[in-house]
């Protein structure tokens, strides 16, 4: 079995005392994997990523998050980033009035990168090299997403977390972004991918989890999840034959071998 990179064990977390969003969540990301985390709006997907990155103060309330065997609970976001985790946030988190180059240069406050690393990132995203002096807010949605990924890569992550990278993008651009993610994974970077576009996510993922109302209700290899009738109906738009007893709720927690 491949080495465990990220482990989330029995985590409960929220945004203030008494407001629990995640309830006993456990998942793993292993070396070489793309892991997809699926779920509807409000299921707790972004909360999980923010908890892993230390972006919610005093969270998790219960449970443990470890990265390559090191406990992350209580660590500051900058310390977690220096350990080798990088987050591409929902909405991209760019500074729209700064240029492409200035957005990339801001990474230097977190990690000093070399000119070789900088050039390698621009070689991967040649459209950004062409627009270094353009304000980030004037880029297309796809170009902004590329900039957000490029910025994260300058941190030289050994685990990349992505929150809704396809959000608001045209299908052609979504395919391009996911092709980039597959390329990164083939080069050795494991990915934890939060995504509502379940069809695309399960095409690139090795393993997947389904989060419902803060609880994991289903997990398994991506190809098995694509065949699950509940996933097909709720996330892939494939209608199943109605049950005589109506909609059958998922049993917490079911795991495909």
Q: Residue 123's pLDDT band (boundaries 50, 70, 90)? A: very high
Contacts of 91 (CB under 8 A, 6+ apart): 167
Specify whether 236 is located in the same domain as 202: yes
Specify whether 193 is located in the same domain as 70: yes
HSE-up (13 A, CA, CB side) for residue 238: 10
Count of structural domains within the chain: 2
Specify whether 74 is located in the same domain as 16: yes
Radius of gyration of the chain (CA): 19
Q: Please report the sign of the dihedral spanned by the C-alpha atoms of residue 84, residue 86, residue 208, residue 124.
A: negative
pTM above 0.85, yes or no: yes
pLDDT digits (tens, 9 = 90+) for 58-103: 899 999 999 999 999 999 999 999 999 999 998 888 999 999 999 9
Structural domain boundaries enclosing 100: 94-156
pLDDT digits (tens, 9 = 90+) for 128-162: 999 999 999 999 999 999 999 999 999 999 999 99
Has residue 176 been placed in a domain? Answer: no
Specify whether 58 is located in the same domain as 113: no
Specify whether 15 is located in the same domain as 80: yes
Please check the confidence at residue 247 and state whether its pLDDT lies above 60.
no
């Amino acid at each position: 079995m491949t080495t465990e990179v990220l482990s989330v064990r029995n985590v409960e977390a929220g945004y203030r005392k008494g407001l629990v969003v995640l309830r006993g969540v456990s998942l793993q990301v292993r070396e070489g994997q793309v892991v997809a985390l699926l779920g509807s709006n409000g299921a707790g997907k972004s909360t999980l990523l923010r908890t892993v990155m230390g972006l919610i103060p005093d969270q998790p309330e219960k449970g443990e998050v470890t990265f390559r065997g090191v406990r992350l609970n209580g660590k500051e976001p900058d310390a977690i980033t220096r350990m080798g985790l990088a987050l591409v946030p929902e909405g991209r988190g760019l500074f729209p009035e700064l240029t492409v180059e200035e957005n990339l240069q801001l990474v230097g406050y977190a990690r000093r990168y070399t000119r070789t690393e900088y050039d390698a990132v621009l070689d991967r995203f040649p459209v950004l090299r062409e627009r270094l002096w353009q304000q980030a807010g004037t880029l297309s949605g796809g170009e902004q997403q590329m900039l957000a990924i490029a910025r994260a890569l300058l941190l030289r992550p050994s685990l990349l977390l992505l929150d809704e990278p396809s959000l608001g993008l045209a299908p052609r651009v979504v395919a391009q972004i996911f092709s980039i993610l597959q390329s990164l994974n083939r080069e050795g970077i494991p990915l934890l991918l939060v995504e509502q576009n379940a069809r695309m996510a399960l095409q690139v993922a090795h393993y997947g989890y389904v989060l419902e109302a803060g609880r994991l209700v289903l997990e398994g290899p991506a190809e098995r999840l694509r065949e699950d009738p509940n996933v097909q109906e709720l996330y892939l738009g494939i209608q199943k034959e109605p049950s005589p007893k109506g909609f059958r709720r998922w049993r917490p927690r079911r795991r495909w071998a």
